[in-house]
Structure 1
Amino acid sequence: MTVGAPVWITRARPGALATAERVRGLGFTAIVDPLLAVESLDVQLDLSHIAALAFTSANGVEAFARLSDERGLPVFAVGRATAKAARGEGFASVSSADGDVEDLCALIAAGAHGSVLWAGAREPAGDLVGMLRGRGLMATGVAVYETLERAPSEDTLARLDAPAAVLLHSPRAARVLAAILRQRPAPTARFLCLSEAVAAPLRDIAEPGSVTFAPRPDESALLDLLNS
């Protein structure tokens, strides 16, 4: 892409702001207009029999940290960004799967001793708890935040009338965007996705060849697509 070209960041805040800094650092114009908004849930946590925590997003880490002062349990994180968020909240023992939910399940199965608590979204993209139980592990889950859909501004949508890139971090954001594109096509836009699962909702909506997904599910690989 041309230096200075607009890049629409669709992920929820506060992660969108960190992504915007990286996009600007690469010489592009960052447009922060999330398709999703995160709201923490007020829930009671019972950690009395929990031996480890599992997180599939930085949002889950941050929401859990608001609800509990517990920082001594070992943490298993799906990827580097989630692991970084856990360390930033004060967790000392953090292991990262550097991959997707299946990779995280394998990491936990190899390293956890005792019951695992997953803390995440009310409507998660994957069933980590079910996968762990399928391997014979003791696992429970608690929703600590919910993700709400939001409409982008008309100014943002107008940017798609010229060459632009759209960054997508989750299947849900991709589904929201797909619904928008059915009503308002963007034939010159490029849709850069964190993974194949994120790209799937756009395959039959966007122009052929305009949807690309990162070779591994982390943001550095996603941002590399801007220069490909």
Structure 2
Amino acid sequence: MSCHPPLIVTRADPGGSATVERAKAMGLDARFMPLFEARPLQWDVPDAADFDALLMTSAQAARLAGPDLARIASLPVHAVGAATAAAAAAAGLRVVATGTRDAQSLIDAMASQKIQRILWICGRDRSDFDARAARLVPLPVYAIDAAPRPSGWSEAVAAPAVLLAHSMRGAARIADLVGAARSHLSLVAISRAVAAAAGEGWGQIAVAAQPDDASMLAAAHILCQKAE
């Protein structure tokens, strides 16, 4: 039997479908309603000798960067979250550190290790971080574009439900589409910054213990059980 209320997954594929599968395996009534679509961008391969390490803050970077990623595979990868680390490893990269909090915490850790030249494989739309004394060079390899509002969205958020917010952009768009009447809805955010981007007025907001799907779904499961 599925746990109610439903869980609404809004992240882009391929991650979105994987999240739905994991949620259903946990007995959650997961519904895939993507608010974004991911696509690769053309990018120029830099000289790996100009950098000391790669920073990856999203699994989409590894999935969508394409075969040219192999040309900078000599650089060690510092990844935010287990999913990003797994995607980087699957792309043939060497992961040396996996951050269990947010991107800024991982950058702070890199700076404390005197890593001076960091190539950030990222999306076109990204947050700003304090690189401390390091040189942080963003290299966009993918874009996440807004998708049309999914069919059935209005009906899904009109009743109690739990929504997942995997990014600040995602949280902001969820909040915009839901509107001010949200006290009957719960939100699970991948980080405190993402929770803040969702604004106030939610019935409940939970922040994942770690920045990964497993922690978000564990939090969502608790919220669903409370609501039953």
Aligned counterparts of 2:204 and 2:151: Cα–Cα separation in 1 = 22
Percent identity at matched positions? 27
Q: Relative to 1, partners in 2 of residues 1:113 and 1:225: Cα closer, same or farther, differing over 3 Å?
A: closer
Q: How many residues align?
A: 219
**Alignment match, 2:162:** 165
**Alignment match, 2:213:** 219
**Alignment match, 2:81:** 79
Amino acid at match of 1:173: G
> 1:87 touches 1:94 (CA, 8 Å); kept in 2?
no
- Residues 126-176 of structure 1, C-alpha deviation per residue, up to 9 Å, x if partnerless? 33xxx22x32x2332211112211232231331222222111111111111
- 1:113 positional shift: 4.8
SS at match of 2:127: coil
Amino acid at match of 2:43: V
Aligned counterparts of 1:126 and 1:32: Cα–Cα separation in 2 = 29
**Alignment match, 2:184:** 188
> 1:31 touches 1:156 (CA, 8 Å); kept in 2?
no
SS at match of 1:69: helix
How is 1:26-65 mapped onto 2 (pairs within 5 angstroms)? 26-48=26-48, 49-65=50-66
1:179 aligns with 2:176: yes
**Alignment match, 1:210:** 204
TM-score (norm 1): 0.85
- 1:95 positional shift: 1.4
Considering only aligned residues, what root-mean-square deviation do their CA atoms show, in Å?
2.2
1:97 aligns with 2:99: yes
- 1:89 positional shift: 1.0
> 1:51 touches 1:116 (CA, 8 Å); kept in 2?
yes
> 1:51 touches 1:113 (CA, 8 Å); kept in 2?
yes
Of residues 30-39 and 103-112 in structure 1, the stretch that sits farther from structure 2 once superposed is 103-112
> 1:101 touches 1:126 (CA, 8 Å); kept in 2?
no
How is 1:136-175 mapped onto 2 (pairs within 5 angstroms)? 137-175=134-172
Aligned counterparts of 2:38 and 2:141: Cα–Cα separation in 1 = 10
SS at match of 1:154: coil
Aligned counterparts of 2:160 and 2:67: Cα–Cα separation in 1 = 40
**Alignment match, 1:201:** 197
**Alignment match, 1:12:** 12
SS at match of 2:158: coil
TM-score (norm 2): 0.85
